[in-house]
Structure 1
Amino acid sequence: MIGKVFLLALLVAIASASPLALDSTTTDNYGVAISQFLAAWKQMIPCGYAAGNIPVMSPLTNDFTAFNFSRGETNLVGNVSNIRISGLDDFIILSGSFNTTTQKAKFDVLYPEIQILGSYALEGAMSLLGFAFPVRDVSLINERFQQLRFVGEYTFGQSLTNSSGLRISEYHLQFYLADVKIDNWDLLLNIAANDYANSWSSQIIDLAVKLVQKYVDELLAIDVIPSVDDLLANVSMAELSQFLSNTAANWNSVDCQVQA
């Protein structure tokens, strides 16, 4: 039960309300609790939390992961190694609120820059528009996502399966990416080819972010909201708020002083 609620807390906390415009007269105010949770999360992740089996997440690292992907005419085998993702603790809450009457939270969160370093290798065949072509790539990764901003809102309602539980009854999310800097280096290509590939990749990511916006809520409805609602059905607002506050207190006790 606690493990599931903790997962829920992480999902909700990624995009949540700030200390602004909160009703502090209620002791079980979700807005106050999530504000405490986020502040503790930001301080804790450069150190991790051993008691909760939470690893260091800023930077987030991965020494080696192999993969084998096959779908239709596409078959790719490879690995990623020495991955380092930094900037996950450097988020800024631009604005936010939680209304205790309507149970609606609004948020505006900005990551100034998230950088991904590492390397990958893959080999196989890829199918595109009915044509299959060979793929071989050995690259160093250096990618920076700048001014990544999440703006949205969500409303708590009564669970449809448990009258004392919660669910997300309404939600809306959009995200924006001001710029993406791709400076990868394919060891099998020359300078001109690498420059072209990096420029093309940056443009594709920028276009994809814009095109996906109108589908974000639909994707949440399919991949996120049902799982979150299943977890929320087990807790009341008071229980969720208390859990967030208690978790924040536990994380703060670590007194993490590491700078990612």
Structure 2
Amino acid sequence: MIGKVFLLALLVAIASASPLALDSTTTDNYGVAISQFLAAWKQMIPCGYAAGNIPVLSPLTNDFTAFNFSRGETNIVGNVSNIRISGLDDFIILSGSFNTTTQKAKFDVLFPEIQILGSYALQGMMSLLGFAFPVREVGLINERFQQLRFVGEYTFGQSLTNSSGLRISEYHLQFYLADVKIDNWDLLLNIAANDYANSWSSQIIDLAVKLVQKYVDELLAIDVIPSVDDLLANVSMAELSQFLSNTAANWNSVDCQVQA
């Protein structure tokens, strides 16, 4: 149960803490609890939390992962190694609120920069616009996502399967990316080819972020909200708030002083 509620907290709390004074000081106030939780999360993740089996999450690292992707005429095998993702603890709460009457949370969260470093190797066949062609790449990853901002809101309602539980009854999310800097280096290409590939990748990511905005809520409805609602159905608002508050207290006891 604790593991499920922790997953729930990460899914629905990571973007909803409020640094503002709230209109209630009761221990079961979700707004107060979520603010405590996210402040403690930000401090804890550079050290991890051994008692809860939580590893260091900022920077987030991965030594090696192999992959095999196949769809239609596209077949790619490869791996990524020595991955290091930094900046996950450097978020800023631009604004936030929780209305205890309507049970609606609003949030505006900014990650100034998230950087991904590492290495990769892949080969296979790529299909694009009806044309299939071989690909082979071996290179270094250096990607920076700047001013990544999440703005949205959600409302708690009564669970449809448990009268004492919760669900997300309404929600809306948009995210914005001011700039993406791609400085990857394919060891099999020359300088001009690398520069072109990086420029093309940056433009594709920028375009994809803009095009996906109108589908974000639909994607959440398919991939996120059902799982979150299943977890919320098992807890009341008081239980969820108390768990977040207790978890924050446990994390704060670590007194992490590491700078990610």
SS at match of 1:55: coil
Counterparts of 1:26 and 1:245 in 2: how far apart (Å)?
12
SS at match of 1:194: helix
| Contact 1:86 1:116 (C-alpha < 8 Å) held by counterparts | yes
Runs (4+) of structure 1 exceeding 6 A deviation are none
Segment of structure 1 superposing worse, 67-76 or 89-98 = 67-76
- Number of paired residues? 260
SS at match of 1:177: strand
- Shift of residue 87, structure 1, vs aligned partner: 0.2
Counterparts of 1:97 and 1:215 in 2: how far apart (Å)?
25
Segment of structure 1 superposing worse, 105-114 or 7-16 = 7-16
SS at match of 1:17: coil
Q: Deviations over 1:81-111 (max 9, x none)?
A: 0000000000000000000000000000000
1:60 equivalent in structure 2: 60
SS at match of 1:122: strand
| Contact 1:21 1:98 (C-alpha < 8 Å) held by counterparts | no
Segments of structure 2 that go 5 or more residues without pairing to the other structure are none
Counterparts of 1:19 and 1:103 in 2: how far apart (Å)?
17
Q: Deviations over 1:54-97 (max 9, x none)?
A: 11011000011111112221111100000000000000000000
1:218 equivalent in structure 2: 218
| Contact 1:58 1:86 (C-alpha < 8 Å) held by counterparts | yes
Counterparts of 1:24 and 1:259 in 2: how far apart (Å)?
33
| Contact 1:152 1:171 (C-alpha < 8 Å) held by counterparts | yes
Q: Deviations over 1:173-206 (max 9, x none)?
A: 0000000000000000000000000011001100
- Shift of residue 21, structure 1, vs aligned partner: 4.6
| Contact 1:124 1:134 (C-alpha < 8 Å) held by counterparts | yes
Q: Deviations over 1:187-240 (max 9, x none)?
A: 000000000000110011001000000000000000000000000000000000
1:6 equivalent in structure 2: 6
Q: CA 1:43–1:232 in structure 2 vs 1: closer, same or farther (change >3 Å)? A: same
SS at match of 2:36: helix
SS at match of 1:247: helix
SS at match of 1:110: strand
- Shift of residue 130, structure 1, vs aligned partner: 2.5
Q: Deviations over 1:23-48 (max 9, x none)?
A: 22332100000000000000000000
SS at match of 2:54: coil
1:117 equivalent in structure 2: 117
1:191 equivalent in structure 2: 191
Q: Which structure 2 residues correspond to residues 248-259 of structure 1 after superposition, within 5 A?
A: 248-259=248-259
| Contact 1:21 1:96 (C-alpha < 8 Å) held by counterparts | no
| Contact 2:27 2:242 (C-alpha < 8 Å) held by counterparts | no
Q: Deviations over 1:142-180 (max 9, x none)?
A: 000000000000000000000000000000000000000
Q: CA 1:257–1:25 in structure 2 vs 1: closer, same or farther (change >3 Å)? A: closer
Segment of structure 1 superposing worse, 22-31 or 5-14 = 22-31
Counterparts of 1:124 and 1:40 in 2: how far apart (Å)?
44
Counterparts of 2:213 and 2:43 in 1: how far apart (Å)?
31
TM-score by length of 1: 0.98
Segments of structure 1 that go 5 or more residues without pairing to the other structure are none
